[in-house]
């Protein structure tokens, strides 16, 4: 597992954001995260898939089976409307918190 | 679902570069984590468990049948008996506020009578504040004519408060009002639902129509609801008509106790308070009363207790026995599950290795056993339907409230609870075992057929001892009851019932008013019967043996008048015509029978039983003494004793005979009496028809339904103890068989488990007999321990059986010894086959394994 250890809520947030950009399957999500964060974030399957299933149970994402460009069968996830709202709410909260933490840490 | 998950993860796996594949880290754990996250885990997992359990059901039909069958029988029996316990003993009576209803009666000289007098009634109403309502009733037999076929129906003449105490409203019409309690009230009647359907065509216009009762028209003012039945304790359960109190000519005698009395306790008042107040009012009345009623008191009891009476003991005993049988059945089933679990150790260990947590496995095992048990419970509930229906139709014992027995929600709940609890218990044992097992060692062991550990053998041993102990208890109980019944059947009743038939004759009051008419009829009938072919001796009695129907009266021997403040003793009295004693071959010990010279105009005579003579004139001849019967009015003539007869067990075979008084029919004629005829022909029914024909030839309108043979009456009086003995014997036999099978199974297992050791023994020169001995000894030790335990518990709880047995004590040495011997013999038989097999073991084959 590479990169900083992500608390569970953070991982959920990242997944939601990734899926907000476009519906993808699990592998694509992990690759996208790696790319965007310039290899900082590498999510293992052990965390990713349980997270995806959790989010689906909560109703924030939904899944369907579809064919990839190579005609293989894969499970695609996409955001639901509830999920989109959650994403906005949580993202705002996260930025607020990150700002606050940063401020504290910047104190000399 | 599972496949989706596998495919999804496989897809990811394929994309990984080969070197990172090792990082994947436990594909199964990931799967499990995903499954966990799904959160609907419980329902999904339960579904999985159920599917798994279903597979078990189908793949092993023998096991399924054994478990579901055994449990079904056990639960079925227990549920049926619970239905009886609930319906008779636990459920409140079907009246509003039934637990607040009391029955009240008088006590005369220590004897309780189920009635009070008018004076008592008035005192209860006016002076007992804890009672909100008091009601009285008297039963009558009424001839109903006009319209449909004439019939004789039971009627209850009741005060208006009767319906209030019972809290019942009519299905139609209006019930009595307090004016109807006053004498000279209007001729009205309330009918039952059955009468409304049968005689009145179930029409709406029935109200207001007249019904001819004893020839007098009575207007129908109300119809009772379908399910309503009068209180059994008052004898109203067969009542179809209700009449207002005003129609009775009530006596002012404070001791003429002829009114059945019930009362409702005021709301918020405790029954103990009400009972105390009633008794104290009774004592007040006694002190202020005339000589005869001095020291008379009231007895009070909740109506339910009076209804159930003495049936409780027998019912609880049967319920206890059936429960024991259920426990025995359950130990068998528990054993089956344990064996199963042991055989599946390998499979369970594999599942554990694949990541199933111990709790998960435990949960699955429990789900399985629950399924089996609930299936058994369903079978049991179905059997209980049949059982209750059978009881209601067959009614082998005189159950009070038998009409109320049904498989209702409470009974079904019982079955469900028993099934669930047993299912949980059965599951817990193997689940606990699974928890403790070291799975890796199980997987490592090469053989998949398991050799039992010591713990397992101990478990089986304990179960066998338990089964044997319970079976021994049932067998002892059965033996005691059977012994009882034999003694009861052999008790000499004091009369000879063989070849005697009886027919009840009821002369309707309006056609035979006055003593002369009754005497005329019966004299003519007796004459006609005496002249008939085939009749040996002919007699008449009011209150035939084992039939009830007699009266109870006070007696005061001459020269021994009761002092002020004392009660005259009460004895049962029967009215007989001359010749009765010779019909039943009751020996005449002294003096003479009644004869034609004893007329209504001649001096009053009476015959007494031996116990009576011994009680009042010990050591002397009773003949020639005089006494007063009933209330002593000034100047009333006393009655002369003219004969003494042998004692008769008139009421119950297990009651020692007490003093009895016989009066001459010609002097105190009754409208209801029983003809008894000794015949020499082969056909009792033919004789009964002959008697009926003779009776009808004199009056064709007489109802003559009730008839039978004396032998049947005697045998019917031991019907209940005989049924109980048979039921318990059946349970005992079943229990014995189950215990024997359990012992056989355990010993067979033991032989297999110790096959190595036995093989070595054979190789070292042990002969067949020694080997058989080893196994037999083990078997008899186990069984012996169980028998000793069972007999000890039975002896300790012997007091519970006391009221059900006759003639022997509840701890009867020979009976216990016999029961123990039976069990040990069964154990001997059960041990025989495994012992033989042990002796036949091939040591070479065993040692090679």
**How far is it, in rounded angstroms, from Cα B785 to Cα B463?**
12
**CA pair distance B481, A31, nearest whole angstrom:** 85
Chain A CB contacts of B4 under 8 Å are 65, 75
Distance (Å, rounded) from C-alpha B610 to C-alpha B608? 7
Looking at CA atoms only, how far is residue A66 from chain B in angstroms? Answer: 11
Total count of residues recorded for chain A = 108
Say yes or no to pLDDT of B355 above 60. yes
Residues of B in contact with A49 (CB under 8 A): 8-9, 12, 30, 33-34
R_g of chain B, CA atoms, integer Å: 37
Tokens of residue A78, six digits? 């996409």
Cβ-based contacts of A30 with chain B (< 8 Å): 12
Dump the DSSP string for B492-518: --SS--TTEEEEEEE--TTTT-SHHHH
CB contact under 8 A, B11 and A49: no
Which of A45, A49, A73 is nearest residue B7 as measured by Cβ atoms?
A: A73
Q: Across the interface, which of B11, B36, B39 has its CB nearest the CB of A74?
A: B11
Highest average pLDDT, of B143-147, B358-362, B821-825, comes from B821-825
- The per-residue pLDDT for range A32-54, each reduced to its tens digit, is 888 877 777 777 777 888 888 88
Cβ neighbors of B565 (< 8 A, separation 6 or more) are B291, B294, B295
User: ipTM score of the complex?
Assistant: 0.78
Residue B59 carries which DSSP code?
H
Find which of B13, B22, B37 to mutate to test the A interface (most A CBs within 10 Å of its CB): B37
Radius of gyration of chain A (CA): 15
Q: State the pairing for strand pair B639-645/B605-609.
A: parallel
pLDDT greater than 80 at residue B636: no
Nearest to A75 among B4, B26, B36 (CB): B4
Contacts of B39 in chain A (CB under 8 A): 54, 57
Which DSSP category does B810 fall into?
S
List pLDDT tens digits, range B520-572. 999 999 999 988 878 888 999 988 888 776 777 778 887 766 665 566 777 88
Sequence-separated contacts (24+) of B688-695 with Cβ below 8 Å: B688/B501, B688/B503, B690/B532, B690/B534, B690/B535, B691/B501, B691/B503, B691/B529, B692/B503, B694/B525, B694/B528, B694/B529, B694/B532, B695/B503, B695/B505, B695/B525
Q: What is the pLDDT of residue B820?
A: 92
A57 touches chain B (CB under 8 A): yes
Chain A nearest-CA distance from B47, in A, is 18
Could you give the CA distance from residue B24 to residue B16 in angstroms, rounded to a whole number? 9
Chain B nearest-CA residue for A49: B34
Among the partner residues A30, A54, A75, nearest to B8 by beta-carbon distance: A75
Residue B152: predicted pLDDT? 83
Pick from B26, B34, B39: which is nearest to A49 by CB? B34
**Which residues of B are less than 8 Å from A27 in CB distance?**
11-12, 15
Tokens (6 digits) for B153: 């129906």
Helix (H) or strand (E) holding B484: helix B454-490
Kindly report the nearest CA distance between residue A21 and chain B, in angstroms. 20
B9 touches chain A (CB under 8 A): yes
Please report, rounded to a whole number, the percentage of residues in chain B having pLDDT higher than 90. 19
- Quote the tokens at residue B62: 């023998």
| Nearest CB to B37; choose among A30, A45, A54 | A54
pLDDT confidence of residue B462: 86
Interchain pair A27, B39: CB under 8 A: no
pLDDT for B338 equals 79
| A45 Cα to chain B: minimum distance (Å) | 7
Q: Give φ, ψ of B147 to 5 degrees.
A: 80, -115
The 8-class DSSP code of residue B259 comes to B
Confidence (pLDDT) at B551: 75
**DSSP-derived secondary structure letter, B600:** S
Mutation target among B33, B43, B355 for the A interface, most CBs of A within 10 A: B33
Q: Is the pTM of this model over 0.95?
A: no
Sign for the CA dihedral angle at B820, B821, B826, B828 comes to positive
Q: How far is A100 from chain B (nearest CA, A)?
A: 31
Q: Which of A44, A50, A72 sits opposite B37 (nearest CB)?
A: A50
More confident residue, B665 or A107: B665
Q: Could you tell me if A47 and B29 are in contact, meaning their C-beta atoms sit under 8 angstroms apart?
A: no
Rounded CA separation B560/B780 (Å): 68
Q: Where are the alpha helices (DSSP H) in B2-96?
A: 2-15, 18-21, 27-38, 41-59, 61-84
* In the predicted structure, residue A3 carries a pLDDT above the cut 70: no
Residue ranges per structural domain of chain A: 8-103
Instruction: Give how far Cα B632 sits from Cα of B120, B554, B556, B562, Å.
Output: 20, 9, 9, 10
Say whether pLDDT at B586 is over 90: yes
pLDDT-based confidence at B19, cuts 50/70/90?
A: low
3-state secondary structure of B771: helix
**CB proximity under 8 Å: B 38-67 to A:** 38-40
A45 touches chain B (CB under 8 A): yes
pLDDT at position B445: 64
A65 CB neighbours in chain B (<8 A) are: 4
| Residue A65 near chain B (CB below 8 Å) | yes
pLDDT at B37 exceeding the cut of 80: no
Name which of B7, B8, B30 is nearest A46 (Cβ-Cβ): B30
- Å between A60 CA and nearest CA of chain B: 13
Residue of B9, B33, B39 with shortest CB distance to A57: B39
Contact B284, B141 (CB under 8 A): no
A-B interface: how many C-beta pairs under 8 angstroms? 55
Residue A40 CA, chain-centre distance (Å), reads 14
Per DSSP, what are the bridge partners of residue B644?
A: B590, B608
Whether A49 and B33 lie within 8 Å, measured CB to CB: yes
For residue B29, what is the nearest residue in chain A, using CA coordinates?
A46
Mean pLDDT across chain B, nearest whole number? 83
Q: Give residue-wise pLDDT tens across range B501-517.
A: 999 888 877 778 888 88
Domain ranges of chain B: 2-38, 110-295, 311-489+719-848, 508-701
Non-local CB neighbours of B450 within 8 Å, separated by 6+ positions: B342, B343, B345
Can you give the pLDDT at residue B293?
A: 42
What is the nearest CA distance from B406 to chain A, expressed in angstroms? 48
Which among A49, A55, A65, A71 is the top mutation candidate for probing chain B, defined by the most B β-carbons within 10 Å of its own β-carbon?
A49
> Tell me, what's the pLDDT at B812?
83
Picking from B21, B28, B34, B36 by the largest number of A CB atoms within 10 A of its own CB, the best residue to mutate is B34
Quickly state the pLDDT bin for A6 (edges 50, 70, 90). low
Residue A2 Cα, gap to closest chain B Cα (Å): 12
User: Is A27 within 8 Å of chain B by CB?
Assistant: yes
What pLDDT, on a 0 to 100 scale, did the predictor assign at position B333? 86
Q: What is the nearest CA distance from A106 to chain B, expressed in angstroms?
A: 37
Q: What pLDDT does B251 receive?
A: 76
- Give buried/exposed letters for B148-171 (b at 16+ CB in 10 A, else e): eeeeebbbbbbbbbbbbbbebebe
Query: What number of residues does chain B have?
Result: 849
Find which of A29, A45, A63 to mutate to test the B interface (most B CBs within 10 Å of its CB).
Answer: A45
Do residues B352 and B441 make contact, with C-beta atoms less than 8 angstroms apart? no
The mean per-residue pLDDT over the stretch B126-135 comes to 91
Return the residue of A nearest to B15 by Cα: A27
Task: Give B7→chain A minimum CA distance, Å.
Answer: 8
Residue A73, min C-alpha distance to chain B (Å): 8
Residue to substitute from A46, A47, A51, A62, interface B, most B β-carbons within 10 A: A46
Note the pLDDT tens digit of each residue in B443-461: 666 554 445 566 677 778 8
* CB contacts, 8 Å: A73 with chain B: 7, 11
Best A1, A53, A71, A72 residue to mutate vs chain B (most B CBs within 10 Å):
A53
How many CA atoms within 13 Å lie on the side-chain side of B376? 33
Contact A46 B33 (CB under 8 A): yes
CATH code of A8-103, in short, is 1.10.10.10
Identify the band that residue B104 occupies on the pLDDT scale cut at 50, 70 and 90.
Answer: very high
Cβ separation B40–A57 shorter than 8 A: yes
């Amino acid at each position: 597992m590479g990169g900083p250890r992500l608390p569970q809520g953070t991982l959920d947030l990242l997944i939601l954001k990734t899926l907000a950009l476009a519906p993808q399957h699990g592998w694509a999500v992990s690759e996208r995260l790696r790319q965007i964060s310039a290899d900082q974030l590498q999510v293992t399957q052990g965390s990713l898939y349980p997270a995806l299933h959790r989010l689906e149970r909560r109703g924030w994402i939904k899944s369907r089976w579809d064919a990839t460009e190579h005609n293989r069968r894969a499970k695609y996830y996409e955001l639901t409307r509830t999920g989109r709202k959650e994403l906005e709410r949580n993202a705002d909260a996260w930025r607020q918190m990150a700002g606050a933490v940063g401020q504290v840490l910047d104190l000399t | 679902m599972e496949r989706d998950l596998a495919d999804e993860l496989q897809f990811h796996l394929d994309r990984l570069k080969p070197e990172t594949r090792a990082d994947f880290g436990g594909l199964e754990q990931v799967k499990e984590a995903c499954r966990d996250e799904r959160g609907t885990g419980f329902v999904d997992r339960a579904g999985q468990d159920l599917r798994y359990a279903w597979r078990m059901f189908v793949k092993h039909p023998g096991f399924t049948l054994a478990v579901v069958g055994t449990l079904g029988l056990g639960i079925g029996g227990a549920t049926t008996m619970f239905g009886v316990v609930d319906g008779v003993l636990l459920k409140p009576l079907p009246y509003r506020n039934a637990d607040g209803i009391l029955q009240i009666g008088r006590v005369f000289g220590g004897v309780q009578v189920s009635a009070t007098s008018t004076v008592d009634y008035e005192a209860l109403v006016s002076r007992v504040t804890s009672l909100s309502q008091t009601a009285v009733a008297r039963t009558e037999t009424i001839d109903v004519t006009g319209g449909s076929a004439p019939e004789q129906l039971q009627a209850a003449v009741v005060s208006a408060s009767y319906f209030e105490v019972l809290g019942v409203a009519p299905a139609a019409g209006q019930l009595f009002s307090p004016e109807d309690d006053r004498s000279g009230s209007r001729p009205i009647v309330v009918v039952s639902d059955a009468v409304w359907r049968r005689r009145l065509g179930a029409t709406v216009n029935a109200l207001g129509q007249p019904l001819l009762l004893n020839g007098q028209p009575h207007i129908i003012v109300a119809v009772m609801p379908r399910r309503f039945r009068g209180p059994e304790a008052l004898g109203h359960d067969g009542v179809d008509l209700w009449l207002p109190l005003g129609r009775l000519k009530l006596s002012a005698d404070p001791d003429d106790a002829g009114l059945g009395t019930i009362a409702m306790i005021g709301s918020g008042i405790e029954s103990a308070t009400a009972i105390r107040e009633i008794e104290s009012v009774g004592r007040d009345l006694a002190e202020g009363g005339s000589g005869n009623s001095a020291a008379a008191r009231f007895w009070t009891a909740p109506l339910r207790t009076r209804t159930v009476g003495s049936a409780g003991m027998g019912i609880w005993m049967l319920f206890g026995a059936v429960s024991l049988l259920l426990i025995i059945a359950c130990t068998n089933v528990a054993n089956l599950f344990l064996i199963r679990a042991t055989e599946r150790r390998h499979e369970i260990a594999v599942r554990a290795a694949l990541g199933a947590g111990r709790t998960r496995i435990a949960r699955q095992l429990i789900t399985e056993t629950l399924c089996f048990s609930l299936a058994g419970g369903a079978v049991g509930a179905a059997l209980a339907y049949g059982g209750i229906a059978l009881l209601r139709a067959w009614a082998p014992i005189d159950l009070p409230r038998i009409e109320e027995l049904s498989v209702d929600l409470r009974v079904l709940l019982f079955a469900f609870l028993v099934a669930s609890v047993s299912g949980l218990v059965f599951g817990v044992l193997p689940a606990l075992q699974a928890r403790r097992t070291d799975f890796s060692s199980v997987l490592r062991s090469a053989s998949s057929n398991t050799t039992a550990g010591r713990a397992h053998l101990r478990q089986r041993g304990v179960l066998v001892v338990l089964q044997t102990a319970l079976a021994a208890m049932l067998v002892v109980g059965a033996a005691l009851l059977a012994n009882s019944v034999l003694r009861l059947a052999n008790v000499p009743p004091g009369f000879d019932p063989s070849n005697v038939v009886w027919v009840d004759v009821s002369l309707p009051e309006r056609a035979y008013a006055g003593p002369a008419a009754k005497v005329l009829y019966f004299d003519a009938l007796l004459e006609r019967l005496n002249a008939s072919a085939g009749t040996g001796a002919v007699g008449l009695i009011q209150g035939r043996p084992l039939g009830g129907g007699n009266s109870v009266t006070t007696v005061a021997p001459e020269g021994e008048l009761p002092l002020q403040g004392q009660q005259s003793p009460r004895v049962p009295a029967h009215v007989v015509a001359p010749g009765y004693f010779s019909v039943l071959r009751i020996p005449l010990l002294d003096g003479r029978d009644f004869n034609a010279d004893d007329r209504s105009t001649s001096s009053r005579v009476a015959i007494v039983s031996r116990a009576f003579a011994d009680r009042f004139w010990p050591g002397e001849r009773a003949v020639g003494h005089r006494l007063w019967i009933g209330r002593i009015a000034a100047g009333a003539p006393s009655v002369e004793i003219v004969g003494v007869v042998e004692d008769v067990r008139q009421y119950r075979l297990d009651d020692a005979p007490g003093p009895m008084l016989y009066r001459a029919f010609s002097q105190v004629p009754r409208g209801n009496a029983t003809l008894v005829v000794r015949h020499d022909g082969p056909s009792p029914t033919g004789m009964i028809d002959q008697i009926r024909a003779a009776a009808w030839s004199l009056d064709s309108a007489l109802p003559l339904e009730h008839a039978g043979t004396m032998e049947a009456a005697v045998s019917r009086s031991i019907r209940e103890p005989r049924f109980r003995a048979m039921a318990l014997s059946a349970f005992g036999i079943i229990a014995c068989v189950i215990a024997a099978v359990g012992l056989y199974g355990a010993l067979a297992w033991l032989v297999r488990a110790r096959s190595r050791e036995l093989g070595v023994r054979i190789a070292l020169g042990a002969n067949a007999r020694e080997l058989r001995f080893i196994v037999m000894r083990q078997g008899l030790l186990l069984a012996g321990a169980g028998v000793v335990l069972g007999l000890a518990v039975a002896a300790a709880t012997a007091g519970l059986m006391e009221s059900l047995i006759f003639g022997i004590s509840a701890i009867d040495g020979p009976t216990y010894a016999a029961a123990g011997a039976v069990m040990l013999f069964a154990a001997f038989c059960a041990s025989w086959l495994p012992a033989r097999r042990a002796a036949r073991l091939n040591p070479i084959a065993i040692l090679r394994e």
